[in-house]
Amino acid sequence: VSIAVFASGSGSNFEVLVERSRRQHWPEPISLLVVDNPQAGALKRADRLGVPAISCRPSDYENKEAFEKELLSLLRKRGIEWILLAGYMRLLGSTLLQAYPWRILNIHPSLLPAFQGKDAIERALDYGVRWSGVTVHWVDEGIDTGPIIDQKPVLVEPEDTVDTLRKKVQFVEHNLYPAVVYKLLTGRIQPPDAQSAEEID
Ligand code: GRF
């Protein structure tokens, strides 16, 4: 039983998740990185950390369903029970969502529901918000629309640029995401399906 991280880019969140999981001896290890493009910087980090990685290009498949079926069989073979999206720039389809109900998380660089979708940091800065932040949420079929698990605010200062704001946001991400996952794995946060099971009892 273990965890897979999905990424498309640099993979800084992937790296801190792996480091924290090892330092804190998580009950379920991060045993796989999945990327959807072979250029993802996350691959180099996986190599350095000794985490197995799979690079799977959707354009090599007939459609999203075929792509996700292939992914699903790879995940099942490896006993993956949790999926952590960390800069994965692709909407999940019903094949993966139905196979992992309430077992897929995402991190987003804004205080949702503000600035869903791409370029959230740039858009928050352009909009002139005084506070932005970070959200960890359950993944559903929408773009950053699933139920919120936890959030942390980040102050936007007048002198902030996209680069400085991104640095502040990522610093908060690198603490919040591992903390939420650890709470989930140790039962201090319950998936919504567990809560409803208790209500039925
Ligand atoms: C993060 O800001 C995350 O919130 C967003 O994509 C970015 C990924 O960064 N979804 P990295 O690849 O983990 O460095």
pLDDT of amino acid 147: 97
Contact 17, 178 (CB under 8 A): yes
Kindly report, residue by residue over 90-124, the tens digit of the pLDDT: 999 999 999 999 999 999 999 999 999 999 999 99
Predicted pLDDT of residue 194 = 75
Section 188-197 average pLDDT: 78
Over residues 13-62, the pLDDT tens digits come to 999 999 999 999 999 999 999 999 999 999 999 999 999 999 999 999 99
The CA 22 to ligand 1 mean position distance, Å, reads 21
How far does residue 190's CA lie from ligand 1's centre (Å)?
A: 24
Rounded (10°) angle between helices 12-23 and 162-185 = 40
11 lines ligand 1 (CB under 6 A): yes
Check if 10 has its Cβ closer than 6 Å to any atom of ligand 1.
yes
Which residues sit opposite 93 in a β-bridge? none
Domains of the chain as residue ranges with CATH: 2-200 (3.40.50.170)
User: What ipTM is given for this predicted complex?
Assistant: 0.98
108 carries an active-site annotation? yes
How many C-beta neighbours within 10 Å does residue 72 have? 16
Which atom of ligand 1 lies nearest, measured to the CA of 108?
Answer: 4
Per-residue model confidence (pLDDT) at position 197: 52
